[in-house]
Structure 1
């Protein structure tokens, strides 16, 4: 295990505080500001984040990532301090990020870049970063920034910013891997195995002309465990809702009774709504670069991702002959229930996405540098076909719906100028400057076509029944100055001015089209940080900053309705504003490093999306749906806590590496909300009180590696009013206490075999959906 794992920002800060030779320069995360060289086993590796950033950072390189069971790119954050990755299964397309003061219900508070190109999907609630554009074999390093303390990043950085850097070849190189995995899953009496495999290939070269190229191919074929279940909860007296559908009930067995998250008796009928997902994904990523002169270079990336998904369901119910029962009125002799035909309906989905990006920049060791970064992410095709009948009926066709998002996507552009100081320059060698102009635009166009009888949901085109669409744009100007006003002191001051526009918003529902007026909002984000090198090994830092996160298109305009659910958006949503402060101390010893951070986050007009079965929560007169989803501003939410990160190398045993992190949230609660006073005093959704990780690796010789990782997360609330008193079941946000193991053997210089297991203790854990059970991994990797 490298001694540089999860490096603290003291190393980056030291580059500006005390270096006497010029630092490296490279393309950062939408910035060409000065970057710190990160030394890993004697090799200079460029970080994906600018040097001397206000706030706290953490990092991992490719070698460190191979010491854990890495299947998908988001696994790189699995052990990051005070971070949650809601990855439900290998191949999950909705692996959301949660951090210090926000949960996975606020995914737009996280920024993710790959090689400086934005892959954050701020279009919809369940649209996670497009991790799929990255092949795990191509990752060189991952860097994380906490909080809205740098003017170089957009307002969505109020939570967590992630920069993924892909490998840039220095000579000819080829590598690849073949991996397979099997999960054992046993819940509600349904036990099964779910398998998958992945093939990756990386090829790159740097030619004598200065041209370099890299190509990555990745194919993944995997099947999930059940993601959700059809359930009915009783009232406080233990009575289930009366069945209003006339006719006799089918006698059945197999209904499983448990207690739901709110402590109410619940009946569970099976895995539904396309619960078991079989996904085949292909990624092709092509990159190239050329240095025209020693001080001018260009690079570009083109990537494509295709997904083919088919889902199925499992009914627990059996009639007297033992045949599955999927719908209708049923009874187990004690209770009667009605199961709609759509409850166990499957769906298919085909997607093709494209990411294009280009960068042009200068590389002067000192003085002025400029950069231009442009990118475009486009959903070329996205068609989801949903049946309205359960699996056996849907297999023969029938009614359903088709949801399309073709043409949806976003684009970004950024122009930046930076000044790198040198001794005796016009700043006295003490100022590092950055100025920039940033723009991003998002477009969402979602249509729903209904396939009526006698049509076929699998192949027919249907008739338009619903749509919602709209666009948003953010234009920002920013400036930042890092001033080393004394040998041991550094002051960073920044300002970001943002203008937001929402326009072309429309909804069609119930035969009525609603057109919304365009809106404009502005955001002002001052930043300041003071760093003091108290000793050669102790860095103290105070950072304050504001971040402004504007609403996304889906939050503004989504008014979709299905047979069982209703979604209510708010076209008048305000931007959420975070005023954050962090005080940190970072200490290094010969073999250890320790960071302690105190943080406080005060968010005004927090944007909350919540789902409920109570229509009064969403302020709607409708009572026909079983689930209501609404978006609203919450006046004020405050979060404060403490965070520790520690690492050690060769501390007790030679070639033994250890890392640990722990976070304790003192309070994360709603302190004001005029629209819903009952929320005041309640804990903010999906922010746990505790998070912790521990990683240990040992290399007894050059061939063997033995590694273990432990992940802990305390329970959190999934109910606005904190009524979920029983979180350790489906629908709750439970504790996570899982142990992971990995062992690798280097058979030859080129070949490496790895075996691993995640969730060794097979703990049942939930982030509303169930997390995977015990999962075994086998991997063969080659590199030349």
Structure 2
């Protein structure tokens, strides 16, 4: 197509420079600083940013890599338990049900996973020992980034060796969990190690590995809801009384919509073992030119068990069937307590070439390829303990699914003297990514070890090709104008769906092609020596991902259907911000407005059996708010620092022809208020003490805002969590840390139950 020919011409005409999916070069990021020691606004990053360094991350409890983002402004991470593979990111204008609005990169390589409904960034590829810093960028204000940046962009950087380096850590986390009739302690263990070196020849390497053995708490509860679950709360009749088994152990509460609910037992108790190996190689060809390659491998072995609360008259566990409790009768489905297993292996390849001139033209090329080598999710259709002996089930395979990216980028950086005399800093780039979906479900006569006939399958590809340009023009010492334009071509192809009936669906979808243009504009004014005011406007076009277009599921209880004709989300965003730094204090205030048309959402129709969840467009959602971020150092005493963020948000559906009743309702999973407060104290070089408190109001979890009882399993509740951490370097190279997450043991839910109080300890050795 024409765009591809234009792209090749641009690539040939300019000096090559790159970053995977537009991660800024070193020259562009050099002025991004942590809050509390911020430098002037970076002219090449018109987006507001927030950062944390490895030293700052010592102030908080880190078990999994996604923990590094939990205290960033206006950011939340849905980490349900230690070792969770579905830790989705949410921001100030989107919730965890919209993972397509979160971009995450590791050293310039894309690790955002847009292949499944709840597929989170592949945090597993990050080695905790190697993290140097994390940077967050907000909104679609830079032309460098693709349309997924309408939410949040997280950039994780791993440390490059300066000489011989070695480090290792052992972590132990124990959670005491108590909910319904489940009262258990869950233990998780992790070992992480790294060795790296740089030689005089310019060659450097880094080898890291990580092993964790984690035990999660229940992710769900087998239950029945009055008025929603067929036959629930029925009065036993004469004819059925004989068939219904009398049991004890049924617990009663109300669900998120205040309907009567009976709870039969705990489900989704995951025990996972994960291994990650990363190899990085680099070579400085010259003082201004470097190449780098990366190979990452991750394996997960997961077993999910369940626990029934029901007991018959003899005290034996009851797992399924017609049961009665006093005057109430229920049917416990045969698969309500069905166990599952998952065995998956992923690998990522990446290569980078770049130049490192301090001024003038620079260039880089980045390519990456991520593949799910093996993924077999085995699901029984019978409850334990019968299923432990075998029996029918299904096996879902995603072997061969993955994505690849390629990007070339060229930048021009004027000298400081030129930059102050009306000169321009330029960025030009070409980007391409492709996602491939292969999701096959087979029947099995023995769910543990065989596969027989085809049950359902889902295939498809999406490709995005983009050209972009950005100009940072320092009009004079006080004014900076940044303009940008991104032109994108989206293609979907090879889409098909099949599932056996009833009903039966067998569809092959025609290819599609969409083009979009996203202009950007930012004007920054240095009002005084310590105050900067900035206005940013940007359009971002977030194309539907391959999962939203083609993926689906069909079980006995529900059907999820995608829509191959989805329209892209278009966000027109405005942000007015002012920041001031004086002495040891820094503060930023931002007014933001995100006006999104054709927001993509999964909406469930529970009035039919089986329930049907459809991926569809919502005509218009408007989000407006205020964000305050601040920090201050040496408060009252040297070494005592404070910081935090406050975000007030109003997100409302303004138009939806497909469901007019939704107009005027609040958008899903965006809290109206959220606050983060962090404190740290370094009395000397050996000790670091840290505390972090997070609070967020309860958002809605239903399109019509009918969930009026959010503080329960299935609801999305408020969050109130205090974490404490102490770290002590007790000898040369040695450090010991201990921390408590959720000190007050305040319960919280995001449909699933979030972690309760846990204690974590870590022993670390570092040779740097």
| Residue aligning to 2:87 | 95
Alignment deviations for residues 383-405 of structure 1 (CA, whole Å, 9 cap, x no partner): 00000011201110000000000
Task: For residue 558 of structure 1, report the CA deviation from its aligned partner.
Answer: 2.2
| Residue aligning to 2:3 | none
Task: For residue 63 of structure 1, report the CA deviation from its aligned partner.
Answer: 0.8
1:61 maps onto 2:45 in alignment: no
1:641 maps onto 2:625 in alignment: yes
Alignment deviations for residues 412-456 of structure 1 (CA, whole Å, 9 cap, x no partner): 0001111111267699562000001100000010000011xxx31
| Residue aligning to 1:173 | 165
Alignment deviations for residues 593-621 of structure 1 (CA, whole Å, 9 cap, x no partner): 11111100000000001345233xxxxxx
Task: For residue 53 of structure 1, report the CA deviation from its aligned partner.
Answer: 1.0
1:370 maps onto 2:363 in alignment: yes
- Greater Cα shift, 86-95 or 509-518: 509-518
Task: For residue 749 of structure 1, report the CA deviation from its aligned partner.
Answer: 1.9
| Residue aligning to 2:428 | 435
| Residue aligning to 2:522 | 529
Which of 134, 139, 150 aligns to 2:131? It is 139
Which of 691, 697, 711 aligns to 2:680? It is 697
Which of 306, 309, 314 aligns to 2:307? It is 314
Give the distance between the partners of 1:547 and 1:236, measured in 2 at CA: 40
Correspondence list, 1:110-125, <5 A: 110-125=102-117
1:582 maps onto 2:582 in alignment: no
User: Residue 238 of structure 1 contacts residue 265 of structure 1 at CA under 8 Å; is this kept in 2?
Assistant: no
User: Residue 34 of structure 1 contacts residue 50 of structure 1 at CA under 8 Å; is this kept in 2?
Assistant: no
| Residue aligning to 1:268 | 263
User: Residue 18 of structure 2 contacts residue 407 of structure 2 at CA under 8 Å; is this kept in 1?
Assistant: no
Which of 493, 498, 506 aligns to 1:503? It is 493
**Per the alignment, in what secondary structure is the counterpart of residue 474 of structure 1?**
strand
User: Residue 31 of structure 1 contacts residue 416 of structure 1 at CA under 8 Å; is this kept in 2?
Assistant: no
Task: For residue 588 of structure 1, report the CA deviation from its aligned partner.
Answer: 0.6
| Residue aligning to 2:446 | 456
**Per the alignment, in what secondary structure is the counterpart of residue 156 of structure 1?**
helix
| Residue aligning to 2:354 | 361
| Residue aligning to 2:718 | 735
Which of 224, 244, 251 aligns to 1:249? It is 244
| Residue aligning to 2:185 | 193
Alignment deviations for residues 477-510 of structure 1 (CA, whole Å, 9 cap, x no partner): 0000000011110000000011000110011112
Which of 716, 723, 748 aligns to 1:765? It is 748
**Per the alignment, in what secondary structure is the counterpart of residue 553 of structure 2?**
coil
Unaligned runs of 5+ in 1: 1-24, 616-622
Change (3 A) 1:142 1:297: same
1:211 maps onto 2:199 in alignment: no
Which of 480, 484, 488 aligns to 2:478? It is 488
Give the distance between the partners of 1:557 and 1:538, measured in 2 at CA: 49
Give the distance between the partners of 1:261 and 1:477, measured in 2 at CA: 46
Change (3 A) 1:697 1:281: same
Correspondence list, 1:316-355, <5 A: 316-355=309-348
User: Residue 376 of structure 2 contacts residue 397 of structure 2 at CA under 8 Å; is this kept in 1?
Assistant: yes
Task: For residue 700 of structure 1, report the CA deviation from its aligned partner.
Answer: 1.9
Give the distance between the partners of 1:438 and 1:173, measured in 2 at CA: 35
**Per the alignment, in what secondary structure is the counterpart of residue 54 of structure 1?**
coil
| Residue aligning to 1:20 | none
User: Residue 659 of structure 1 contacts residue 696 of structure 1 at CA under 8 Å; is this kept in 2?
Assistant: yes
Change (3 A) 1:690 1:39: closer
Task: For residue 647 of structure 1, report the CA deviation from its aligned partner.
Answer: 0.7
Task: For residue 652 of structure 1, report the CA deviation from its aligned partner.
Answer: 1.4
**Per the alignment, in what secondary structure is the counterpart of residue 706 of structure 2?**
coil
TM-score by length of 1: 0.92
| Residue aligning to 2:153 | 161
1:277 maps onto 2:270 in alignment: yes
Give the distance between the partners of 2:133 and 2:398, measured in 1 at CA: 32
Change (3 A) 1:423 1:725: closer
| Residue aligning to 1:632 | 616
Give the distance between the partners of 2:594 and 2:671, measured in 1 at CA: 15
| Residue aligning to 1:553 | 546
Change (3 A) 1:512 1:724: closer
Give the distance between the partners of 1:643 and 1:131, measured in 2 at CA: 27
User: Residue 43 of structure 2 contacts residue 472 of structure 2 at CA under 8 Å; is this kept in 1?
Assistant: no
Change (3 A) 1:36 1:112: closer
1:684 maps onto 2:667 in alignment: yes
Change (3 A) 1:765 1:514: same
**Per the alignment, in what secondary structure is the counterpart of residue 549 of structure 2?**
helix
User: Residue 421 of structure 2 contacts residue 475 of structure 2 at CA under 8 Å; is this kept in 1?
Assistant: no
| Residue aligning to 1:290 | 283
User: Residue 281 of structure 2 contacts residue 293 of structure 2 at CA under 8 Å; is this kept in 1?
Assistant: yes
Change (3 A) 1:210 1:429: farther
User: Residue 304 of structure 1 contacts residue 354 of structure 1 at CA under 8 Å; is this kept in 2?
Assistant: yes
Change (3 A) 1:783 1:547: same
User: Residue 475 of structure 1 contacts residue 499 of structure 1 at CA under 8 Å; is this kept in 2?
Assistant: yes
Alignment deviations for residues 680-720 of structure 1 (CA, whole Å, 9 cap, x no partner): 00100000101111111112222222211111111011111
**Per the alignment, in what secondary structure is the counterpart of residue 385 of structure 2?**
helix
Task: For residue 239 of structure 1, report the CA deviation from its aligned partner.
Answer: 9.2
**Per the alignment, in what secondary structure is the counterpart of residue 211 of structure 2?**
strand
Alignment deviations for residues 51-100 of structure 1 (CA, whole Å, 9 cap, x no partner): 64112100001111111000111100111111110000111000001001
| Residue aligning to 2:513 | 520
Unaligned runs of 5+ in 2: 1-16
Size of the aligned set, in residue pairs, is: 742
1:660 maps onto 2:660 in alignment: no
User: Residue 356 of structure 1 contacts residue 376 of structure 1 at CA under 8 Å; is this kept in 2?
Assistant: yes
Alignment deviations for residues 250-269 of structure 1 (CA, whole Å, 9 cap, x no partner): 10111110111011111111
1:564 maps onto 2:557 in alignment: yes
User: Residue 593 of structure 1 contacts residue 647 of structure 1 at CA under 8 Å; is this kept in 2?
Assistant: yes
Which of 720, 736, 742 aligns to 1:753? It is 736
1:106 maps onto 2:98 in alignment: yes
Give the distance between the partners of 1:714 and 1:149, measured in 2 at CA: 28
TM-score by length of 2: 0.94
Give the distance between the partners of 2:18 and 2:429, measured in 1 at CA: 16
Compute the RMSD of aligned alpha carbons: 2.2
**Per the alignment, in what secondary structure is the counterpart of residue 376 of structure 1?**
strand
User: Residue 419 of structure 2 contacts residue 474 of structure 2 at CA under 8 Å; is this kept in 1?
Assistant: no
**Per the alignment, in what secondary structure is the counterpart of residue 556 of structure 1?**
helix
Give the distance between the partners of 1:460 and 1:775, measured in 2 at CA: 39
| Residue aligning to 1:80 | 72
Give the distance between the partners of 2:377 and 2:703, measured in 1 at CA: 31
Alignment deviations for residues 300-340 of structure 1 (CA, whole Å, 9 cap, x no partner): 11100000000100111111111111100001112100011
Give the distance between the partners of 2:126 and 2:607, measured in 1 at CA: 40
Change (3 A) 1:118 1:527: same
Change (3 A) 1:424 1:79: closer
Give the distance between the partners of 1:439 and 1:360, measured in 2 at CA: 17
1:723 maps onto 2:718 in alignment: no
Task: For residue 233 of structure 1, report the CA deviation from its aligned partner.
Answer: 1.2
